[in-house]
Amino acid sequence: MKLAKVAATKFHLTVHARQRIAERGLSIEVMKDVVKYPQHKHQQYRGEHGGIVFRFSKQRGQANMTVVAEIKGQQCWLITGWI
């Protein structure tokens, strides 16, 4: 992803993401950072919003943060995340 494209990305939270963020004590800003600047990005399947669902991961300190998100153009729906 190019930096200009990343800056224009509009993020949305799914109901599932809201539940997981609350249960797991995740930070939305950290999740966005993992999606914007991942160390690894793996395509998963076609999403509900017509985009492609990817699994993004990035080392954050001693932990590896993983985020699943659907990308369609400049839109990103955060689906879930875990450490």
Are 67 and 54 in contact by the 8 Å Cβ rule? The answer is: no
Q: Is 35 exposed, middle or buried (0-12, 13-18, 19+ CB in 10 A)?
A: buried
Number of domains in the chain: 1
CATH of the domain at 53: 3.30.2310
What does pTM read for this prediction? 0.86
Average pLDDT of the residues in 52-81: 95
How far is residue 15 CA from its own chain's centroid? 14
6-61 pLDDT, tens digit per residue, is: 568 899 999 999 999 999 999 999 999 999 999 999 999 999 999 999 999 999 88
15 CB neighbour count, 10 Å cutoff: 8
As given in the structure block, the two tokens for residue 36 are 């914007």
Range of the domain at 36: 3-82
